[in-house]
Amino acid sequence: MSQTVDDHSSYKEWETTKMMELQDQELKRARKGAWCLPASCQGRAVALLYILLAFCFVLLLAVIVISLQKINAMWEALEEARLRNEKIHASSWQNLSHVQHFMDQQMSSQLTAFHSHLLNVSKEVENMRAKMTQCEAGCGKALSDRLRVLEGQTASWPAPGELAELKHQESTMRALLNGVLEEMRQVSEVICTRCPAGWQQFLRTCYFFSTDQKAWMDAKLFCTNLSSHLAIINSEQENKFLANQIMETQTYWLGLTDMHKEGDWQWVDGRPLSLRLWSSGEPNNVGHYGEDCAFLYANGHWNDAVCSKAEPFICERSC
């Protein structure tokens, strides 16, 4: 009986030991499985990684879409600002053009009035000069006659004091008359009153605006035959005066060319070009034959053109 009990105890101990060994083996397998995943665990990890990548892609796409929307809104705002700026610029330019046109009209009317006033003054100066010349001749003759009479009477009526006084008055009057005549001569040189019929005057220069159209060389020869030359512009005021005489759709040859050397623009008197009032992008010398002669627009700008082109022209001469 005791033997049976001992055998049963030994069996229990063996069974307990076996169970502990099995548990140890299971624990080792579990630890080993933590470092080396089975194929099913690896598949779940790859699927999870794909999910994470898809989420990141969706998030990135959402960020890109939001950024594009913001950029598009910024572009729209910039375009709106640009259009608004263009409208403001166009409105300002239009207002400036109106102001400039008004000022040009005012200046033109003032120049016309001033020119008319100068003509009146010059005529008065010429009349006064003529009267002073007559006075010099008449008064001088009267004094000379009086002196001769007095000198002839010295034998019967000695009056040396009165004779000396008259001689002094004569010399004084002649000096005054000479001074006045010299001043009038200088004034008449500043004010021109001798432009031929059909010519326009600006300061001391006369201008002829042709009604015929000629090539540049023919126009130059025509002006030479009139004892003048094609117009030479020396100031913006002179350019404005000439432009104001031109109709809106007309152009007139000037005495300006670079036919002797391309790009070296000179006036017909040989002077180099200093004042430059070219239109935007001009001179451009386009075309097969080039553009070597300049003409004037009604807006006061210049342009180069083919010299053989028939255009009206402006001749210029001094008073």
Q: Domain limits of the chain? A: 1-30, 118-190, 200-318
Do 248 and 241 form a contact (C-beta atoms < 8 A)? no
- Tokens, residue 316: 């210029």
SS3 305: strand
Integer Cα distance of 31 and 23 in angstroms: 12
SS3 140: helix
Q: Convert the pLDDT of each residue in 120-137 to its tens digit.
A: 665 665 666 666 666 555
What is the model's pLDDT at position 183? 65
Do 304 and 292 form a contact (C-beta atoms < 8 A)? yes
The pTM (predicted TM-score) of the whole model is: 0.47
What is the model's pLDDT at position 61? 87
Helices 39-152 and 236-244 pack at an angle, to 10 degrees, of: 90
What is the model's pLDDT at position 85? 77
Integer Cα distance of 139 and 175 in angstroms: 13
Please give the full DSSP string across 95-114, using - where no structure is assigned: HHHHHHHHHHHHHHHHHHHH
What is the model's pLDDT at position 158? 44
What is the model's pLDDT at position 36? 45
Local confidence pLDDT in tens for the 319 residues of the chain: 555 545 556 666 777 777 777 767 766 665 555 444 456 667 777 888 888 888 888 888 888 989 888 888 888 888 888 888 777 766 665 665 565 566 656 655 655 565 565 566 656 656 666 666 665 555 556 656 655 665 565 444 445 666 666 667 767 777 766 766 666 555 555 555 578 889 999 988 999 999 999 999 999 999 999 999 999 999 999 999 999 999 888 999 999 999 999 999 999 999 999 999 999 999 999 988 899 999 999 999 999 999 999 999 999 999 7
Position of tokens 């809104």?
73
Superfamily of domain 200-318 in the CATH hierarchy: Mannose-Binding Protein A, subunit A (3.10.100.10)
Integer Cα distance of 112 and 110 in angstroms: 5
